[in-house]
Amino acid sequence: SGRSPPELAQLFESLGAGWILFTNIDVEGLMQGIILDPIVEILSAVNIPVLVAGGITTLEDIDLVKHSGASGVILGSALYRGKISLVEALKMVE
């Protein structure tokens, strides 16, 4: 589309979206951790909740996303491969 993730998030917000799901496909499934910059940029661009997916590999990644101001995370490969315990992840967000 030629638009950056923050620009697209703003567009969807202006069209009435109640929340944004940001999946960083550059790191999704690679088990190498998150890239925080685009998350922070999107959070700064909109006033609606943002859920984050893609690259979350450790409990520390969850903590970084939590402290960035995101509303939540979606776990994939790290959960399926046993790298993150669902019980431990849930404890972090309680």
Domain of residue 19 covers: 5-93
* Pair type for strands 50-53 and 20-23: parallel
Q: List the single range of 25-29, 57-61, 72-76 with lowest mean pLDDT.
A: 25-29
Confidence class for position 51, pLDDT limits 50, 70, 90 = very high
pLDDT digit string, tens, across residues 9-46? 999 999 999 999 999 877 677 677 888 999 999 999 99
| Count of structural domains within the chain | 1
- For residue 21, the model assigns a pLDDT of 96
Q: What is the CATH number of the domain that holds 88?
A: 3.40.50.12600
- Write the CA distances from 44 to 7, 51, 73, 77, integer angstroms: 11, 14, 17, 27
pTM of the model: 0.87
Instruction: Check pLDDT > 80 for residue 79.
Output: yes
Residue type, 25: I
